[in-house]
């Protein structure tokens, strides 16, 4: 029986975009677990640098995946051209510059390595966004899962070799990102090369991109500014423990990302009913993975004294996980129905609160205070999004984006 079920389960996982995304996060989680072998100060450098790169590309990447999914497949097939491609390519240097800036702010990261990491991630995201907009969810996430497995393998070799220099660990992570970018361009680059061969037939919808991305920019301060602030005020050791708890609980949010992208791209009849199902499935998966994540944090605390507090932080952050899962999917529905302005305003309000609150809490209460503050912020964001979506739906139905585009709203 096990011989039959094992291969069947593997084949099923290999054919599921959600499970491929979870697999990619699992590999990232395994890399994080292996990084516990580093001394806390070196692990703090590793985390601060990778986080700076991630924040840089999240802001500099212009939310291409969200934007192109919201535009729909016809945009890339018929409308976008050389001018569009130049705009998308500009995300690479912008992300690199911002990655370096956030590394300098943290005081614990390498600005040069953060810039390189941000540039490579952005270079990978451009063809990935094109692939997703064409409906290739499985292919994109299968690719990401495959190359995400390189990082823990490389880290394992470094542990065996007795290398505890964080800069060499970061260099191995950069190699993984480079392979990812090459692979994505090899698979989906033809879509973008097609844009280079024709002129853009319409003006770029910069208004829509700006509205979509402003919400993402605001959210990134809520998502990642906590770690950069903690590094700045409490140092690398505190960041090492807190980031481990964050990484474990973010693993449990994996299903919400794919669910939100599917909701965002669902313009067919019956989308509202499918929204409820998407919420239920994502929450069910998230709670199950949260249990595994907390068990993993508890086990790490047993064998590594320096990380014993991570499981308590993880338990606090479980509430944040639930809020993030629901908030991601509801926000995707808002954007799908043309509520970019509402999502941007809600995200901006949450970001302003995070920028004001995190430094005060981090300097006085450390990681515990940051964890509680993030729970409050994400819960508030989700409640505001749900309330706005419900009130707007009662007052007047939101006009789908493709209809508003015909009316020239995003021109």
pLDDT for the residue 269: 67
The percent of residues above 90 in pLDDT, for the chain, comes to 54
Tokens of 58: 């999240």
Tokens of residue 289, six digits: 């993975």
CB of 382 within 8 A of CB of 327? yes
Last-in-domain residue among 183, 202, 221? 202
Whole-number pLDDT of residue 70: 75
Q: Which domain holds residue 86?
A: 1-202
Q: Please state, in angstroms and rounded to a whole number, the distance separating the CA atoms of residues 110 and 211.
A: 31
Residues 62, 80 within the same domain: yes
Residues 74 and 163 in one domain: yes
Cβ–Cβ < 8 Å for 81, 201: yes
Cα–Cα distance between 180 and 2 in angstroms, integer? 33
Asked if residue 250 lies in contact with residue 291, where contact means CB atoms within 8 angstroms, the answer is no
CB 278 within 8 A of CB 255: no
Q: Tell me the average pLDDT across 348-356.
A: 92
d(CA 98, CA 115): 7
Domain identity same for 154 and 212: no
Residues 97 and 174 grouped into a single domain: yes
Residues 303 and 185 in one domain: no
Give the pLDDT confidence of 73-132 residue by residue, as tens digits. 888 888 899 999 999 999 999 999 999 999 999 999 999 999 999 999 999 999 999 999
Domain match, 134 and 44 both: yes
The phi, psi pair for 36, rounded to 5°, reads -60, -20
Residue (of 306, 311, 330, 315) closest to 385 by Cα position: 330
Predicted pLDDT of residue 268: 67
Residue 307 gets which letter from DSSP?
G
Integer Cα distance of 148 and 145 in angstroms: 5
Residue 109 near residue 49 (C-beta atoms within 8 A): yes
Q: Are residues 138 and 54 both part of a single domain?
A: yes
Q: Give tens-digit pLDDT for 391-411.
A: 876 664 545 445 444 444 444
Over residues 225-284, the pLDDT tens digits come to: 999 999 999 998 899 999 999 988 988 887 788 788 788 766 666 677 788 888 888 999
Burial pattern 321-350, b for ≥16 Cβ within 10 A else e, equals bbbbbbbbbbbbbbbbbbbbebbbbbbbeb
Tell me if 156 sits within 8 A of 88, measured CB to CB: no
* pLDDT the model gives residue 62: 84
Predicted confidence (pLDDT) at residue 345 exceeds the cutoff of 80: yes
Same domain assignment for residues 96 and 171: yes
**The two three-digit tokens of residue 262, written as one number:** 């599917």
73 shares its domain with 156: yes
* E strands in 214-325: none
Last residue of a domain, one of 153, 183, 202: 202
Domain match, 298 and 152 both: no
Residues 389 and 303 in one domain: yes
* Total domains, the chain: 2
Predicted confidence at residue 310, as pLDDT, reads 94
Cβ 90 vs Cβ 47: under 8 Å:
no
Q: What's the CA gap between 391 and 223, in Å, rounded? A: 26
Distance CA 126, CA 64 (A): 7
Domain boundary residue among 184, 202, 220? 202
User: At 338, is the secondary structure helix, strand, or coil?
Assistant: coil
110 and 158 within one domain = yes
* 367-387: average pLDDT: 95
**pTM for this one?**
0.78
Task: Give the tokens for residue 97.
Answer: 């510059």
């Amino acid at each position: 029986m096990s011989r039959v079920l094992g291969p069947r389960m593997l084949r099923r996982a290999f054919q599921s975009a959600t499970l491929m995304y979870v697999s990619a996060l699992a590999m990232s989680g395994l890399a994080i677990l292996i990084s516990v072998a580093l001394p806390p100060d070196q692990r703090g450098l590793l985390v601060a640098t990778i986080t700076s790169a991630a924040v840089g590309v999240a802001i500099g990447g212009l939310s291409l995946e969200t934007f192109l999914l919201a535009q729909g497949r016809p945009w890339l097939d018929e409308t976008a051209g050389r001018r569009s491609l130049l705009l998308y390519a500009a995300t690479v240097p912008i992300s690199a510059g911002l990655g370096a800036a956030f590394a300098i702010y943290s005081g614990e990261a390498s600005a040069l390595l953060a810039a390189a990491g941000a540039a490579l991630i952005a270079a990978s995201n451009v063809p990935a966004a094109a692939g997703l907009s064409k409906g290739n969810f499985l292919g994109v996430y299968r690719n990401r899962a495959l190359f995400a497995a390189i990082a823990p393998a490389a880290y394992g070799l470094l542990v065996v070799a007795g290398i505890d220099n964080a800069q060499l660990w970061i260099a191995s992570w950069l190699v993984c990102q480079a392979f990812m970018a090459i692979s994505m361009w090899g698979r989906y680059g033809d879509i973008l090369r097609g844009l280079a061969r024709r002129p853009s037939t319409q003006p770029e919808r910069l208004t829509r991109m700006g509205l979509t991305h402003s919400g993402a920019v605001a959210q990134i301060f809520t998502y990642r500014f906590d770690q950069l602030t903690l590094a700045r005020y409490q140092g690398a050791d505190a960041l090492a423990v807190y980031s481990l708890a964050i990484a474990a609980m973010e693993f449990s949010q994996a299903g919400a990302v794919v669910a939100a992208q599917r909701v965002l791209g669902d313009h067919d009849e019956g989308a509202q009913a499918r929204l409820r199902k998407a919420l239920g499935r994502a929450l069910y998966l998230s709670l199950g993975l949260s249990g595994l994540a907390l068990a993993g944090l508890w086990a790490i605390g047993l064998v590594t004294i320096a990380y014993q507090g991570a499981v308590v932080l993880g338990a606090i952050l479980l509430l944040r996980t639930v809020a993030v899962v629901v908030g991601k999917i509801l926000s995707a529905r808002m954007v799908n129905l043309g509520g970019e302005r509402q999502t941007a305003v809600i995200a901006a309000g949450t970001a302003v609160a995070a920028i004001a609150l995190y430094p005060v809490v981090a300097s006085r209460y450390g990681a515990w205070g940051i964890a509680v503050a993030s729970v409050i912020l994400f819960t508030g964001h989700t409640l505001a999004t749900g309330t706005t979506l419900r009130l707007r739906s009662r007052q007047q139905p939101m006009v789908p984006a493709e209809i508003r585009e015909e009316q020239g709203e995003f021109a």
